[in-house]
Structure 1
Amino acid sequence: MTDSKEIKLYATHPHPCSYFGDREAKTIFIDPEMTPSAALYSELSRRGFRRSGNHIYRPDCKRCKDCIASRVPVNLFTPTRGQRRTIKRNADLNTKILSSPSDQSYSLYERYINGRHRDGDMFPPSKEQFDSFLGPSNAASEYVHFYLGADLVAVAVTDVLDDGLSAIYTFYDPQFSQRSLGVYGILWQISQAKSRNLSYIYLGYWIRDCQKMTYKTDYRPIELLINSRWVRLI
């Protein structure tokens, strides 16, 4: 196994920030020619790295530290009243865990981006974008398909780490927005991690002043990686 101290890191040039229109961002990522072991990928996740496609990266903005890695210790998690309602609301869904996206996945993703994220940098959606972002990768990924009867209504992409699950992305049919399927996808992964005796769900970056990213602290307790230490918020 390659030691984390031996990894080659590369940095992007400054580029427009995806979260704040008046800021520039900079990202570091591991050597794209390298295929990290499951243990190394897990260690990088504990150090605040995330995966997008086959790239494992971390923000490295000198003037801004607002992107803070987050994870939920699943054995301590207690759902709120609203989260319990979401679980009950979706009790009629059937679940299949696949090793790659089903043939229906892209059309669902396309409807999701068109219906929910027309103002984001993932619009307009394309099959090439979908494949590079969410298609099969070097990671041990699972594609959790949620069905209402025969209809695919949501997909949660999750990576299996040695100490938890990393919630990469969830997309769903916008016509079922009242079901809170994004919330349900996270709650399902928390339950799944518990059943596998894993300790955490890694939720990606919490950004206090970005409305789209503040939802992560709805899952309590949560741990934030601050100054290289995981700090627990109750």
Structure 2
Amino acid sequence: MRHTLPLAPQFYVTAPQPCPYLEGRLERKLFTALQGEQAEALNDTLSKQGFRRSQNVLYRPSCSDCNACLSARIRVKDFTESKSQRRTEKKNAQLARRTRAPWATEEQYELFRKYLDARHADGGMADMDVFEFAAMIEETPIKSRVIEYSVRSEDRRTRDLAAVCLTDVLDDGLSMVYSFYDPARHADSLGTYVILDHIRLAQEAGLPYVYLGYWVPGSPKMDYKAKFAALEVYVGGQWTPMEDAENFDTRQHPLSNDPIAEQVAQIALPGAQPVKKR
């Protein structure tokens, strides 16, 4: 099924398939290719409208009877750490950060496999081999970085890789495309620590937001994202402060969704103003 905007890009929608986050629900995605000279501008523009990047594709959920997957970002200037987040910082004070070009390594893949086997053994990425992993890291038409977190030995000659994040640099923030960590260090809350460090990186770079991907109320895998202060979610075509995660209503009337063609027509492309919903 294909829907087209004038002057490209072309938008497509996937067939319904089981939702990986909420049991008994089906998901569909609206997506477009990310390529050519306008790739960075398109990525910047659509990221502000709830889209996410996977290799050379931009996508966002377009489910018929559910709106639970909400793109989330942190307002960097308004963020304050909680007591538990300060404890997480102290636990991981020994970690050294290294920022690299998007190039996959065997060490990264070994950590990635440990993470999947322990945390997402039944997920959609469970069978990803080293070549697919390399494609995930390296196939990017925009400014991306691989950020590694390691424990160095006392003589600083060796290091133990603890966490990795593939990060896109947008015109208004850092987008955490995918992160993984050593499952043996689960008690160290490395997922939280990596987000905290990205907030620090954004502050240093003068960027206003850190994009976290999708927050899914009711999904235990996503609960940690709602624990960050100054969180915004993309709802109804605009970014809205998320004040009460426990009572956030994601129910949707089955007749309330716009047709796919209308959803596409409301997408703002680079250089254009967003089309307001009637």
Whether the TM-score (by the shorter chain) exceeds 0.5 is yes
Given the alignment of the two structures, is residue 157 of structure 1 paired with residue 159 of structure 2, yes or no?
no
Structure 1 CA distance for aligned equivalents of residues 38 and 217 of structure 2: 31
Structure 2 CA distance for aligned equivalents of residues 39 and 52 of structure 1: 16
Aligned residue number for residue 10 of structure 1: 12
Structure 1 CA distance for aligned equivalents of residues 14 and 137 of structure 2: 21
Check the 8 A contact 1:114/1:124 in 2, yes or no.
Answer: no
Alignment gaps of 5+ in structure 1 = none
Aligned residue number for residue 75 of structure 1: 77
> Could you give the per-residue CA deviations for residues 9-45 of structure 1, whole angstroms, max 9, x where no partner exists?
1111122222223122111111366564322211100
Aligned residue number for residue 146 of structure 1: 149
Aligned residue number for residue 189 of structure 1: 198
Residue 136 and residue 16 in structure 1: after superposition, are their counterparts in 2 closer, same or farther (change >3 A)?
A: same
Residue 21 and residue 134 in structure 1: after superposition, are their counterparts in 2 closer, same or farther (change >3 A)?
A: farther
Aligned residue number for residue 214 of structure 1: 223
Counterpart residue type for residue 222 of structure 1: L
Alignment of 1:58-207 (within 5 A): 58-100=60-102, 101-149=104-152, 150-207=159-216
Structure 2 CA distance for aligned equivalents of residues 70 and 5 of structure 1: 29
> Could you give the per-residue CA deviations for residues 17-76 of structure 1, whole angstroms, max 9, x where no partner exists?
222231221111113665643222111000000011221101111111111111100110
Aligned residue number for residue 156 of structure 2: none
Q: Compute the displacement of 1:88 (Å).
A: 1.2
Q: CA RMSD in A?
A: 1.9
Q: Computing the radius of gyration over CA atoms, which structure comes out larger, 1 or 2?
A: 2
Residue 201 and residue 69 in structure 1: after superposition, are their counterparts in 2 closer, same or farther (change >3 A)?
A: same
State TM-score, norm by structure 1. 0.92
Q: Compute the displacement of 1:124 (Å).
A: 3.5
SS of aligned partner of 2:78: coil
Counterpart residue type for residue 14 of structure 1: P
Identify the range of structure 1 (173-182 vs 127-136) with the bigger mean alpha-carbon deviation.
127-136
Which of 218, 234, 239 is the matching residue for 1:230?
239
Aligned sequence identity (%): 37
SS of aligned partner of 2:212: strand
Counterpart residue type for residue 15 of structure 2: H
Count the aligned residue pairs: 232
State TM-score, norm by structure 2. 0.78
